[in-house]
Amino acid sequence: MGHLDDALALDATGQAELVRRGEVTPGELVGAAIDAAGQRNPAINAIIHPRFEAALAEAAATDTGRGGPFTGVPMVVKDLQCAIGGEPHHMGTRALKGIDYRAPHDSFLYRRFRHAGFVAIGRTNTPEWGSTITTEPLAYGPSRNPWNLDHSTGGSSGGSAAAVAAGIVAVGHANDGGGSIRIPASECGLVGLKPTRGRVSAGPDSGESWAGATIDGAVTRSVRDAAAVLDAVAGYEPGDLYVAPALQRPLADEVGVPPGRLRIGVLSGVAMGGAVDAECIAGVEQAARLLEGLGHHVEVSAPAALADPEFPRRYLTVIAACTLNDLNELESILGRPAGEDDLEPDNLLFAEMGRSISAADYLAAVHGQHLWVRDMLRWWHPEGEGHPHGFDLLVTPVIATPPPPIGYLAGPEGGRRVGELLLFTAQFNVTGQPAVSLPLHRTPDGLPVGVQLVAAHGREDVLVRVAAQLEAAAPWPSIAPA
């Protein structure tokens, strides 16, 4: 088992290379991941729907001579979107768990993961409907952070992040409507790349969610994995509402490419105010020093619209209206009204808010978001696309605290606290810009703290180049929880 343990410790790119060279078979690699899940998952509650037998069968049937870039590499899939036909798809709800709801068909995204050669060993825990930033659903209980089991994994992709951080797999499917890739990556010490709007298809069952704020991606151990996985799953599908700007070449080819001297704005500790934990400020300051040492021009600056007091109201209006629509769809599946035994209080409250929102209110909120996005993007493009004097990157915290204790963001006070901590990520879901969380900092007691980099619309290539620079300057893949 020694060589298999060593293989599991690699990133997905490294594991795929072992398979290509014949040093390990897909069956051995997937079996090792399943063994690791058996040992570690009981403590962290990351995988809630194991598909071990199916995964072993898929691995055994893999043709290593004709596969994709990740042939035979095990992964996990979040139990929210990325449906697998005929398999459980409960989205964190007690209602769908109670009827053992099964997805009617594969999502386009899951087909792309399979075409790339990945083998999913299970589906992972998520908060109900992915509507909060901790993974503690009543349906399945909390996922626990491998760095400290008393702390949150973040959300909503917390189950996937826990599985990757615990060394079960190297890649976990994730999605993000307000920070749900970046926040779990921050709290679990991973790389979390949120793609540009339209880069990854939501089909065939959805065109958009939260007025285009949501996007699928992955949490990974390395920048090269983040790039290569996005290469594998990106692309237009017929009927997609949004199309991201084409990249000049595969993102995997951007790893190691010198980015040149960039103009980078940093949201300083002073600008953040006293509500942001000192460790999160320290992480940003550390990143700023690293970037300056790498030759970039770094200055204290951020878009003024980032702190627009109207942003939370418009964002919440969209979420509440969409939650009511989700409730209507759930009741159609159930064939009856849904109540307190089916959904958690926060989502029932969102749905009730949705009932008070007229069509005109919703459209006004979306229109306000569109105007606000133009204000935001002027910081990157002050006089239009390609202007040479805009900023290339913005550096901010991911969330306003290190990983909070289990329970802190749950219960009656949890919703209020979410609003206090969710200061830096949701804005870039609404703008549709690519952003990444990098594990650049640790608290004195060893908890991970991520730092967010945000690029201009469609510029994942810039993010990957700079993220790879930072990874080389302050390598993190060699650091793992005990």
Express each pLDDT in 173-185 by its tens digit.
999 999 999 999 9
Q: How confident is the model at residue 383 (pLDDT cuts 50, 70, 90)?
A: low
Reported as a single tens digit per residue, the pLDDT across 121-155 is 999 999 999 999 999 999 999 999 999 999 999 99
Reported as a single tens digit per residue, the pLDDT across 82-108 is 999 999 999 999 999 999 999 999 999
Reported as a single tens digit per residue, the pLDDT across 434-476 is 999 999 999 999 999 999 999 999 999 999 999 999 999 999 8
Q: Which among 160, 151, 99 has a CA at the least distance from the CA of 130?
A: 160
pLDDT at 385 over 80: no
Rounded CA separation 7/16 (Å): 10
pLDDT, residue 412, reads 80
pLDDT at 272 over 80: no
pLDDT at 3 over 70: yes
Rounded CA separation 183/190 (Å): 10
Q: How confident is the model at residue 218 (pLDDT cuts 50, 70, 90)?
A: very high
Token representation of residue 162: 């826990």
pLDDT, residue 384, reads 52
pLDDT, residue 271, reads 64
Q: CB 249: neighbour CB atoms within 10 A?
A: 10
Q: How confident is the model at residue 66 (pLDDT cuts 50, 70, 90)?
A: confident
* Average pLDDT of the chain to the nearest whole number: 95
Q: Which among 204, 158, 198, 207 has a CA at the least distance from the CA of 179?
A: 158
pLDDT at 14 over 80: yes
CATH superfamily of 2-473: Amidase signature (AS) domain (3.90.1300.10)
Which residue reads 């409507």 in tokens? 177
Reported as a single tens digit per residue, the pLDDT across 230-250 is 999 999 999 999 999 999 999
Q: What is the set of active-site residues?
A: 78, 156, 180
pLDDT, residue 105, reads 98
Rounded CA separation 82/305 (Å): 33
pTM, whole model, 2 decimals?
0.97
| Residue 5: C-alpha distances to residues 14, 23, 311, 481 (Å) | 13, 13, 47, 15
